[in-house]
Amino acid sequence: MTETPVPARVAARRLPPASDVLRWVFGALIVLGLGYWLIGEAIADPQRFLQVSVIGFSNGMIYALVALGYTLVYGIIELINFAHGDNFMLGSFQAQSMFVDGSFQIPLLFGTLAIPLGTAVSLDSSAWQKVYSIAFTIVVAVAFCTAINVTIERIGYKPLRASPRLAALITAIGFSFILQGIGLAWKGPGRVPVPPIIPATPVIEVDGVVYYTVKDLMVLAITIPALLLLTWLVSSTKPGKAMRATAQDRDASAMMGINVDRTISFTFALGGALAGVGGVVYALYIGTTFFQLGFRLGLIAFTAAVLGGIGNLTGAVLGGILLGMIAAYNDGFGDARWTYTVIFTILILILVFRPSGLLGERVPEGQ
Amino acid sequence: MNDTASGVRSRVSDIRGSWRRWLPWVLVAAVLTYPFWVDVWPISYLTVDALGLTLYVAVLILVYVMLALGLNIVVGYAGLLDLGYVAFFALGAYAVGWFASDRFSGVSFHLASTTSDAIPGIHINFWLVLLIAGVVAAIAGVIIGWPTLRLRGDYLAIVTLGFGEIIPDVFRNADRLAVPGGVEWSLPFITVSYVNLTGGVRGVRALDRPGFGDQLDSVTGGILPERFSGSELRPWYFTILVLVLITIFVIRRLEKSKMGRAWIAVREDEVAASAMGVPLMRTKLWAYGIGAIFGGIVGAYYGSFIGSVFPTSFFFNISILVLCMIIVGGMGNIYGVILGAVVLEYLNFTGLDKIGEGINNGIDLVGIDQSIDIPKYKFLIFGTLLVIMMLTRPEGLIPSARRKAELHEAEEEGPETTYGDLYDARREGA
CATH number (domain holding residue B85): 1.10.3470
Q: Note the helical H segments in A123-259.
A: 127-152, 165-187, 214-236, 238-248, 250-255
- Tell if the CB–CB gap between B422 and A181 is shorter than 8 Å: no
Task: Please give the residue of chain B at the shortest CA–CA distance from A169.
Answer: B154
| In-domain check, residue B63 | yes
- Determine the 3-state secondary structure of A258 from DSSP: coil
DSSP string, B331-349: TT-HHHHHHHHHHHHHIII
Nearest to B85 by CA among B72, B65, B71: B71
Q: Does B19 touch chain A (CB under 8 A)?
A: no
Spatial CA neighbour of A97 closest among A125, A120, A113, A122: A120
Interface probe, candidates B77, B144, B155, B158, chain A, greatest A C-beta count within 10 A: B158
Does B21 map to a domain? no
Residue A232 lies inside a defined structural domain of this protein: yes
Residues of B in contact with A164 (CB under 8 A): 406-407, 423-425
B203 band by pLDDT with thresholds 50, 70 and 90:
confident
Residues B385, B328: Cα–Cα separation, whole Å: 8
Is A345 within the bounds of a domain? yes
| Domain that includes residue A58, residue range | 18-353
Whether residue A11 lies inside any domain: the answer is no
Q: Mean pLDDT, to the nearest integer, of B140-166?
A: 82
Judge whether A13 lies within some domain: no
Q: What domain count does chain A have?
A: 1
- The answer to whether the CB of B129 falls within 8 A of the CB of B97 is no
Q: Look at residue B286 and tell me if it is in a domain.
A: yes
Q: What is the mean pLDDT of chain B?
A: 81
- φ/ψ region of B121 (left if φ > 0, alpha if ψ in -120 to 50, else beta) reads left
B79 phi and psi, to 5 degrees?
70, 25
- Is the model's pLDDT at A209 over the cut of 80? no
Domain range enclosing B247: 38-417
Q: What is the mean pLDDT of chain A?
A: 86
Residue A3, pLDDT > 70, answer no
Q: Is the pLDDT of residue A229 over 90?
A: yes
Q: In the predicted model, what is the mean pLDDT of residues A144-158?
A: 94
**Is residue B273 a contact partner of residue B266, using CB atoms and an 8 Å limit?**
yes
Least confident stretch, A163-172, A257-266, B23-32, B144-153 = B144-153
CA–chain centroid gap for B305, Å, is 15
A344 vs B165, B376, B377: nearest CB: B165
CB contact under 8 A, B406 and A178: no
Q: What is the mean pLDDT of residues A52-77?
A: 92
- Is B420 in Cβ contact with A166 (below 8 Å)? no
Mean pLDDT is highest, among A16-25, A62-71, B4-13, for A62-71
* Percent of chain B predicted with pLDDT > 90: 25
- Put simply, the chain B residues between 313 and 332 with a CB less than 8 A from any chain A CB are 316, 320, 323, 327
The answer to whether position A9 is within a domain reads: no
| Exposure letters B360-379 (e unless 16+ CB within 10 A, then b) | beeeeeeeeeeeeebebbbb
Total domains in the fold of chain B: 1
Percent of chain B with pLDDT over 70: 86
A142-146, A169-173, B216-220: least confidently modelled range: B216-220
Predicted confidence band of residue A276 (pLDDT cuts 50, 70, 90): very high
CB B309 within 8 A of CB B204: yes
* Cα–Cα distance for residue pair A204/B284, rounded to 1 Å: 55
**Amino acid B185: pLDDT:** 63
3-state DSSP of B271-313: HHHHHCCCCHHHHHHHHHHHHHHHHHHHHHHHHHHHCCECHHH
ipTM of this complex: 0.82
Looking up residue A136, the CATH number of its domain turns out to be 1.10.3470
Q: Give domain status of residue A364, yes or no.
A: no
Chain centroid to CA A38: how far? 25
Q: What pLDDT is recorded for position A226?
A: 92
Residues B315-371 pLDDT 10s: 878 888 898 899 888 888 898 999 999 998 998 888 888 888 888 888 777 777 666
Nearest by Cα to B406 from A173, A322, A366, A165: A165
Cα distances (angstroms) measured from residue B46 to each of A312, B38, B359: 58, 9, 17
Q: Is the pLDDT of residue B427 over 80?
A: no
